Amino acid sequence: MNTAIKETNFQFANQTGFYRGKVRDVYSFEDKIAMVATDRISAFDVVLPHPIPYKGQVLNQIAATFLKATEDIVPNWVIATPHPNVTIGKKCEPFKVEMVIRGYLTGHAWREYKSGKREICGVNLPDGLKENDKLASPIITPTTKADEGHDQDITKGEILEQNIVDFDDYAILEKYTYDLFDRGTELAKEKGLILVDTKYEFGKYNGEILLIDEIHTPDSSRYFYADGYAQRQLDGQPQKQLSKEFVRQWLIRNGFQGKEGQRIPEMTEEVIRDISNRYIELYENIMGKAFEKYEGENTIEQIQKAIEDSL
Block mean pLDDT (10 aa), the chain, length 311 = 85 95 95 97 92 96 97 98 97 97 95 96 97 98 75 93 97 98 97 97 97 93 96 95 87 93 94 93 94 89 96 86
Q: What is the pTM of this model?
A: 0.90
178/279 Cα distance (integer angstroms):
26
The answer to whether residues 198 and 216 touch, using CB atoms and an 8 Å cutoff, is: yes
- Which residues is 3 bridged to in the sheet? none
- Position 36 scores a pLDDT of 98
Is residue 207 packed enough to be buried (19+ CB in 10 Å), middle (13-18) or exposed (0-12)?
Answer: exposed
Give pLDDT, residue 255: 95
Mind spelling out the 3-state secondary structure of 65-129?
HHHHHCCCCCCECEEEEEECCEEEEECCEECCEEEEEEEECCHHHHHHHHCCCCEECCEECCCCC
CB atoms under 10 Å from CB of 245, counted, come to 17
Gap between the Cα atoms of 231 and 200, Å rounded: 30
Q: Indicate the SS3 state at residue 35.
A: strand
Cα 104 to Cα 90, 252, 261, 284, distances in angstroms: 33, 21, 32, 23
The span from the CA of 223 to the CA of 245, in Å, is 10
What does the alpha-carbon distance between residue 5 and residue 146 come to, in Å, rounded to a whole number? 24
> Cα separation of 241 and 144, whole Å?
26
* Whole-angstrom distance, CA of residue 121 vs CA of residue 115: 15
Position 184 scores a pLDDT of 97
Q: What was the pLDDT predicted at 1?
A: 45
Q: How far is CA 61 from CA 21, 110, 152, 218, in A?
A: 19, 30, 28, 12
In the chain the domains, ranked by start, together with CATH numbers, are 95-242 (3.30.470.20)
